Structure 1
Amino acid sequence: MRSTIAGTTLPVLRVMLDDGERLIAETGELSWKTPNVDLATTTSGAGNAGFFGAMRRSLAGGGLFMTEFTARGGPGLVAFAAKIPGAIVEHAVGGGRSMLVHRHGFLCATPGVTLDLAFQRSLGAGIFGGDGFRLQKVSGQGMFWSMLGGEVIPHDLAPGEAVDVHPGLVGMFEDTVSFDITMLPGIRNKLFGGDGFFLARLTGPGRVWLQTLTAPGLAHALAPYLGMEGVTATAEGSLLGAAVSGLIRHVRK
């Protein structure tokens, strides 16, 4: 198995499978493939079997189903393209080491990798962490690829060292890193600072991968422009429709 990541703003992961090799991915992620790569939709992918295993994976942000790709009769290519501006990052897991990924960050993996639900150990993180409460736990043995938004900033934390981050910008972190929620100090900061009430506190040791863009953040940034265009288009359409109707009535008279 050989992989390459091409592109910059909207990257593409291309995986070349040898004959008989398999790859497991979230449903709906395929961009293109060679004809000799077979697809099989299953509930038992990524280490989860049966209905309850699929439900746990679904609660973590994945789907009830996974897609398994298998090369038949020779090498085959599978490609996955990013859906928002960002970066695709390759990771290895094994030896009891696991990663916690934001709920839509898992892209695909080799068959030995397990995708499961990880609840936060802290009650505060669970109540106020938003999407940070439900994380995808990636463990097992093999390679997996994550899709993070915007620029990806790796940050290594020494034992006891902490960093406070907007909860949505926590892309992924090693399981040795603890995740908690801290409240912004000061009433003025909370009400008028524009940064919300809470920040995620990540405490080492371990590595964290911070992302600079989320899909909701991108949608929020574009919403004023999309709304204005929609209002303008509606108004123009209404005026044009009224003018045409008036002209038709005038001609009929």
Structure 2
Amino acid sequence: MKAIIAGTTMPVLELTLDAGERIIAEGGDVSWLTPGFDIQTSTAFGSGGRGGFMSGLKRMVGGGQLFLTQYTAQAPGSFVAFAAQLPGTIRELAIDPQDQFMVQSGAYMASTPDVEVSVGLQKKLGAGIFGGAGVVFQKLAGNGTAWVQLAGEIVEYDLQAGQSLLIHPGHLALYRAEMPLEFASIKGIKNKFFGDSLFLAQLHGPGHVWLQSMTPAKLAAAIEPYLPEKSSSDNN
């Protein structure tokens, strides 16, 4: 299998497979592909070989899809491509029992068959945060390779034992699964949802963290003034 990440602001992940090789992804995310793939959809895909309906249900709770799609190449040189949904970057992650990751909901793009995609963390932060959905992270475990899309520019930190970082939850894109994560209310910063305190994620080392400069919520707020207003006839 050969992976190419092409483009800059809105990158594309192109995966070229040999005959018999497989890739797992959320079905609606495919952008283009060569003819001849054997395509199947099941709740068992994305479970690292250990799942069925319950694995799909856990994945859906984590912000993913109940059903994932498996693309199996029938001829060498077959390729399938997935385009990023937001301006940013695509990262490749090597997954094994020592290297497991937590990724913000919606960032998962594709993976090899033995990678398990499940809910890793779900935290309610109040009705005003993320539309009331709270913070949701998916866990990438098992063995294989996964690709994730991160929004905006990416800043990385290596936290040592005893170090921690306070992060706005929307900017926390990806971190190693063994790192403890808490949520803290920080006094002294005005916040329209929590009065005189700001709710932040506190991530503890040791481990590596990827922070994204763009959040979907901020992007939506930036373009909202330019969207056409709905007229009464639109509701009929």
TM-score range normalised by the length of the shorter chain: 0.7 to 0.9
The correspondence of residues 32-47 of structure 1 with structure 2, limited to 5 A, is 32-47=32-47
Pairwise CA distance, 1:193: 11
Show CA shifts across 1:68-92 (max 9, x none). Answer: 0110032210100011111110010
TM-score, normalised by the number of residues in structure 1: 0.82
The correspondence of residues 63-212 of structure 1 with structure 2, limited to 5 A, is 63-119=65-121, 126-128=123-125, 133-186=135-188, 189-190=190-191, 197-212=198-213
* 1:8 matched residue in structure 2: 8
Greater shift in the superposed pair: 177-186 or 57-66: 177-186
Note if contact 1:5-1:12 (Cα within 8 Å) is conserved in structure 2.
yes
Pairwise CA distance, 1:150: 0.8
Structure 1 residues 109 and 191, CA, compared in 2 at 3 Å: closer, same or farther? closer
Greater shift in the superposed pair: 33-42 or 105-114: 33-42
Show CA shifts across 1:55-104 (max 9, x none). Answer: 10100111011010110032210100011111110010113431011111
Structure 1 residues 134 and 36, CA, compared in 2 at 3 Å: closer, same or farther? same
Pairwise CA distance, 1:225: 2.1
Pairwise CA distance, 1:10: 0.2
Question: Which portions of structure 1, spanning 4 or more consecutive aligned residues, are displaced by more than 6 angstroms?
Answer: 192-196
Note if contact 1:16-1:76 (Cα within 8 Å) is conserved in structure 2.
yes
Note if contact 2:185-2:197 (Cα within 8 Å) is conserved in structure 1.
no
Q: Which runs of 5+ in 2 are unaligned?
A: 232-236
Counterpart amino acid of 1:230? E
Note if contact 2:180-2:203 (Cα within 8 Å) is conserved in structure 1.
yes
* 1:245 matched residue in structure 2: none
3-state secondary structure, aligned to 1:9: coil
Q: How many residues align?
A: 226
Pairwise CA distance, 1:134: 2.5
Query: In 1, Cα distance between the equivalents of 2:159 and 2:166?
Result: 12
Two-structure CA RMSD over aligned residues (Å): 2.5
Counterpart amino acid of 1:128? L
Note if contact 2:187-2:196 (Cα within 8 Å) is conserved in structure 1.
no
Counterpart amino acid of 2:220? A
Note if contact 1:102-1:132 (Cα within 8 Å) is conserved in structure 2.
no
Pairwise CA distance, 1:40: 1.1
Larger % of strand: which?
2
Q: Which runs of 5+ in 1 are unaligned?
A: 121-125, 235-253
Matched-pair identity in % = 39
Q: Rg larger in 1 or in 2?
A: 1
